Structure 1
Amino acid sequence: MQFAVPPRKGPVAPPSTRSSSLTFQRRKQLKTITTLSIALFTLFLLLSQLFYSSTETAAAARGTPGLVIVTVLDHTLYGDHYLQKIIKNREHYAQRHGYTNFFANLSDYDSYIGYAPRSWGIVPVLRHAMAKHPSSTYFFHLDAHALFMDPSKTLDAHLLNKHRLEALMRRDVPIVPPDSIIKTFSHLRSDDIDLMITTDAEDLSTGSFVLRQGDFARFFLDTWFDPLYRSYNFAKAETHTLEHVVQWHPTALARLALIPQRVINAYSKDSPSAGVDGTYKDGDLVIRFFGCDTDPERNCERELDPYYSLWAKKLKFE
């Protein structure tokens, strides 16, 4: 009797051996993918940083894009020929250094000013400029009757640079010349400052100052424009109100830096009340024809023309 013999089978790998092989391959693939992902992400970060640095460097070379030059123009009193000279001067300076201009027609703000003197218009104009440029840091209000005379100077290096401002700050001096009992704080540093302003021989000068956007700026402009102050009928309207605010509100005084007049506010030779060393000299950043619009014996356009021609001549030799 014969019995069937089952055929021989080759060796069969244990299930665990095959599973281990698949797991190893999968781990190897995941490791490769992870390594490549990390390498690509690192490369992306490096390229982004390089791009950002080059963009930042280019912006620094142009100036501070976050600076806005604010000019209030009264079209009811002055013709286009005169105003266009002022606008052209501002536009050239801003374009050269990467700044922005904000030109305001004073008549557009009459409803905010009400029955107060129209010189109050600078406050709602500044608020409007800040609302229009919420990402900008500095706002330089410069009176319309003024010209940039040295276009090569940037406001960054001339005033806003931390070390430059530190050197310019006038400490422990009367807020209102010549002998106000309230003086600038002696302990302040440039990082504390939100308002940079000058005085002439008699007053704080509202015709040329720099304000940094932020919580203080909003508080400051709201306080300055308070209806109660506008109803006081101060002899010099917004100027005397400003002096009252900074002398009796320590919050304002603690954010203010007085700087020498000629830095941003040099007066023309025909302007009254220039402070000590406050009259324009060749090489100053700006010249301001202070009082040319209130003195019937003076003419703003006639005073401005020779300096405008001098400025235009400088451009040809650059």
Structure 2
Amino acid sequence: MHFSIPSRSADQTTLPGSPSFKAKSRASSYHGFYSLSFFIRLRSLIFDLVTSAQSATAPEKKRQSARRRLVLLTLTLFAAVMVFVTIMYLLFANITTSDPAGHHVVLVLGLDSKNYKEDYLGRIVENRREYADAQKYGLYVRNISDFKDMVHDAAKPGWYKLPLMRSAMRDNPGSTYFWYLDQNAIIMNPNLNIESHITETKRLNSLALRDIPVVPPDSNIRTYRHVPADRMKFIISQDHEGFQTGSFILKNGEYSRYVLDAWFDKLYQEYKFQKDEKSALEHLAQWHPTVLSKMAVIPQRIFNAYPNGVGDSTYQDGDFVASLAGCNTPERSCVREFERLWDNRGRVVN
């Protein structure tokens, strides 16, 4: 299953060896070829003018001389323009450009059709589509089975979100933010937009939790105190146990692609982490300053509240998102909690 509303960019950053890079190289070569053929035709034209002038009578030579000067002036100006355009093309052909028609934010959703009923998944897709349409965001939906050959242990579904996010970025190169939200979460307040609620610089600067343990309650590695919000490209929250990867935002760019690739490394997948991909991310944040230096840890209720949370993480009416993480225990009922939240979710205000 694959639903997507992709945003296509007119261009994108490319590396040597990639298909798009080779296509650009060929385009540059063709442009240079056309310029060279133009000068060959120009030389041929000048030669014809000179030859015809040698066999003409005196009055004809006078008229041809005036006409020749006009033609040569026109061709010289045209040639100068062609040379300038060719040089500019060869110099700047590979600069990244943004597609003004691209969605600023793309919602990313992975569906587990093996372990979840079709009716449930249909309502989750409806929830995301309603929100995306209201905010004019993109929606990228894939079945996680599409990535089964990439995940080391298919029994650990938390890993699927990483190639899913990488795929969303590849298919929407012109978009700026990618918000991954687990299928066990409901957007409860669709009238909040990502920009004003989270990513706008002043807002994010006020939300970022500084100098707190990366792994609560007492990790020696703490979030940075003085990183400005405009440098933060990875937005995530914590609960009392650590990072909660059921909801996070990445800003498109080299840093985010690096984080996803490093996080999904086969070594981490094979290692016996206690909390699978969550522990792997905590390891990266603690031991790789490159990752932590651009992370923003924000309060959990901002975009990943728990109905059965602890303290400030507990969902309250009007909150943006309610997550059912951990509902499949004897003490709780995922179905009952979902139905209650679904019936009480907010609707789009036109």
TM-score, with length taken from structure 1: 0.75
Match of 1:163 among 176, 186, 202: 202
Equivalence for 1:77: 115
Distance in 1 separating the partners of 2:269 and 2:327: 24
Equivalence for 1:288: 323
Equivalence for 1:11: none
2:161 partner SS? helix
Cα 1:186/1:73, change in 2 over 3 Å: same
Q: Report the alpha carbon displacement of residue 102 of structure 1 after superposing the two structures with TM.
A: 1.0
Match of 2:220 among 175, 181, 185: 181
Cα 1:89/1:276, change in 2 over 3 Å: same
Equivalence for 2:147: 109
Counterpart contact for 1:70–1:102, Cα < 8 Å: yes
Q: List gaps (5 residues or longer) in structure 1.
A: 1-55
Distance in 1 separating the partners of 2:110 and 2:265: 20
Cα 1:305/1:222, change in 2 over 3 Å: same
Distance in 1 separating the partners of 2:123 and 2:331: 22
Distance in 2 separating the partners of 1:245 and 1:68: 25
Q: Report the alpha carbon displacement of residue 233 of structure 1 after superposing the two structures with TM.
A: 1.4
Distance in 1 separating the partners of 2:126 and 2:262: 33
Counterpart contact for 1:196–1:209, Cα < 8 Å: yes
1:176 partner SS? coil
Distance in 2 separating the partners of 1:68 and 1:259: 20
Deviations 1:252-294 (A, max 9, x none): 010001101100110012xxxx45400000111010011124x
What amino acid sits opposite 2:239 in the alignment?
D
2:313 partner SS? coil
Quick check: 1:240 aligned with 2:279?
yes
Quick check: 1:278 aligned with 2:313?
yes
Cα 1:198/1:85, change in 2 over 3 Å: same
Counterpart contact for 1:268–1:290, Cα < 8 Å: no
Percentage identity across aligned positions? Answer: 41
Equivalence for 1:205: 244
1:141 partner SS? strand
1:150 partner SS? coil
Counterpart contact for 1:198–1:265, Cα < 8 Å: yes
Q: Report the alpha carbon displacement of residue 316 of structure 1 after superposing the two structures with TM.
A: 8.3
Cα 1:182/1:317, change in 2 over 3 Å: closer
Match of 1:99 among 137, 155, 171: 137
Q: Report the alpha carbon displacement of residue 231 of structure 1 after superposing the two structures with TM.
A: 1.1
Counterpart contact for 1:206–1:239, Cα < 8 Å: yes
Distance in 2 separating the partners of 1:317 and 1:243: 38
Match of 1:130 among 169, 182, 188: 169
Quick check: 1:215 aligned with 2:247?
no
2:108 partner SS? strand
Cα 1:316/1:174, change in 2 over 3 Å: closer
Quick check: 1:147 aligned with 2:186?
yes
Equivalence for 1:315: 347
Cα 1:137/1:200, change in 2 over 3 Å: same
Equivalence for 1:36: none
Quick check: 1:87 aligned with 2:125?
yes
Quick check: 1:266 aligned with 2:289?
no
1:277 partner SS? helix
What amino acid sits opposite 2:344 in the alignment?
L
TM-score, with length taken from structure 2: 0.69
Distance in 1 separating the partners of 2:349 and 2:258: 45
Counterpart contact for 1:148–1:287, Cα < 8 Å: yes
- CA-based RMSD of the aligned residues comes to 1.7
Q: Report the alpha carbon displacement of residue 65 of structure 1 after superposing the two structures with TM.
A: 2.4
Deviations 1:114-146 (A, max 9, x none): 335222101000001101111111111111111
Counterpart contact for 1:199–1:275, Cα < 8 Å: no
Cα 1:302/1:151, change in 2 over 3 Å: same
- RCO (CA 8 Å, sep 6+): is it higher in 1 or 2? 2
What amino acid sits opposite 2:121 in the alignment?
L
Counterpart contact for 1:82–1:301, Cα < 8 Å: no
What amino acid sits opposite 1:128 in the alignment?
S
Counterpart contact for 2:182–2:247, Cα < 8 Å: yes
Distance in 1 separating the partners of 2:238 and 2:177: 20
Equivalence for 1:304: 338
What amino acid sits opposite 1:301 in the alignment?
V
Counterpart contact for 2:191–2:348, Cα < 8 Å: no
Tell which structure's C-alpha radius of gyration is larger.
1
Distance in 2 separating the partners of 1:206 and 1:141: 9
Cα 1:172/1:316, change in 2 over 3 Å: closer
